Amino acid sequence: HAKEQGRNNYQFFKQEMNDKVVERLSVENGLRQALARQEFILHFQPKIHFKTGLITGAEALIRWQHPDRGLLHPQQFIKIAEDSGFIIPIGQWMLKTACQQAKDWQHEGLRPIPVSVNISAVEFRHDGLVNNIRNTLAETEIEAKYLEIELTESTLVQDAKSTMITLHALKAIGVKIAIDDFGTGYSSLSNLRQFPIDTLKIDQSFVRDMINDDDDALIVSAIIGLGNNLNFKVSAEGVETQKQLAFLQAERCEEGQGYYFNPPVDAVAFATLLGTNHAA
Ligand code: C2E
Ligand code: MG
Ligand code: MG
Ligand code: MG
- The pLDDT value recorded for residue 275 is 97
Atom of ligand 1 nearest to the CA of 240: 18
More confident residue, 27 or 260: 260
Mean pLDDT of 47-73: 96
Cα 270 → chain centroid:
17
> 3-state SS string over 179-192?
EEEECCCCCCHHHH
Number of Cβ within 10 Å of residue 144's Cβ equals 18
Does the beta carbon of 237 lie inside 6 Å of ligand 1? yes
Give the ligand whose atoms come closest to the C-alpha of residue 44.
1
Exposed/middle/buried for 180, CB within 10 Å: 0-12, 13-18, 19+? buried
Nearest CA to ligand 1 atom 27: 74
Tell me, using a 6 A CB cutoff, whether residue 74 lines ligand 1: yes
With a 6 A CB cut-off, is 209 part of the ligand 1 pocket? no
Confidence at residue 1, expressed as pLDDT on a 0 to 100 scale: 66
- DSSP annotation of 145 reads G
Instruction: Give the residue among 155, 104, 105, 107 at the shortest CA–CA distance from 129.
Output: 155
In short, whether 94's Cβ falls inside 6 Å of ligand 1 is yes
Ligand nearest the Cα of residue 74 is 1
**Per residue in 155-172, pLDDT tens?**
998 888 899 999 999 999
Closest CA to 62 of 205, 222, 267: 267
pLDDT score, position 259: 98
Find, among 199, 196, 252, the residue nearest to 225 by Cα.
252
Instruction: Give the ligand at the shortest distance from the Cα of 258.
Output: 1
Per-residue pLDDT band for 190 (boundaries 50, 70, 90) equals confident
| Burial of 269 from C-beta contacts in 10 A (0-12 / 13-18 / 19+) | middle
pLDDT of residue 2: 61
pLDDT at residue 4 greater than cutoff 70:
no
Residue type, 232: F
Give the model's pLDDT for residue 212. 97
Q: Is the CB of 120 under 6 A from ligand 1?
A: yes
pTM attached to this predicted model = 0.93
Taking the centre of ligand 2 as the mean of its atom positions, its distance from the CA of residue 37, in whole angstroms, is 25
3-state SS of 106-135 is HHCCCCCCCEEEECCHHHHCCCCHHHHHHH
Residues of the chain above pLDDT 90, percent: 82
Q: What is the distance between the alpha carbons of residues 36 and 229, in angstroms, rounded to a whole number?
A: 47
Alpha carbon distance 71, 5 (integer Å): 39
The rounded distance, in Å, linking the Cα atoms of 168 and 166 is 5
